[in-house]
């Protein structure tokens, strides 16, 4: 799953630490999400989207290979 947290942080002029405090997680968690080492829960994704005032889909998108799962 890709995400645009780093870009959104730059637009809103937030550090990792400040964003982490806004959504009540540790700085390591934000770093891990940005590095694609960790996929956040739906609750955390919604909270992050709320901070940036955007729909979740604009911040978190599926990778190309993840879209092609057969149902």
Partner 1 sequence: MAKVKYLFYIINLITAFILNSFFVKDYYNLHKVYFIILYVNYILHICINIEIMKSILIPYKLKIIGWFLFLPSLITGIILIIGDFESPIDSKINFFAICYNETFGKTKYFGITTIDLIPNLTAVLFLIGGLIIIFSKEKIEDEFINSIRLNALQWAVFTNYLCLLLAIVFVYGIPFFNIMVYNMFTVILIYIPRFYYLLWKISKTV
Which residues make up the interface to partner 1 (CB under 8 A)?
A: 16, 20, 24-29, 31-33, 35, 37-38, 40-41, 44
Least distance from C-beta 53 to partner 1, angstroms? 22
Q: How many CB atoms lie within 10 A of CB 18?
A: 14
Cβ nearer to partner 1, comparing 37 with 54 = 37
Residue 63 φ/ψ region, left for φ over 0, alpha for ψ in the -120 to 50 degree band, beta for the rest: beta
What is the 8-class DSSP label of residue 54? Answer: S
Which of residues 37 and 68 has its CB atom nearest to partner 1 in the complex?
A: 37
Nearer to partner 1, 40 or 59 (CB): 40
Residue 36 in contact with residue 1, Cβ under 8 Å?
yes
């Amino acid at each position: 799953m890709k995400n645009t947290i780093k870009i959104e942080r730059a637009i809103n002029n937030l550090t990792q630490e400040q964003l982490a405090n806004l959504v009540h997680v540790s700085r390591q968690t934000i770093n891990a999400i940005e590095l694609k080492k960790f996929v956040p829960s739906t609750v955390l994704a919604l909270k992050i989207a709320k901070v940036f005032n955007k729909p979740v889909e604009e911040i978190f998108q599926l990778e190309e290979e993840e879209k092609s799962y057969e149902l």
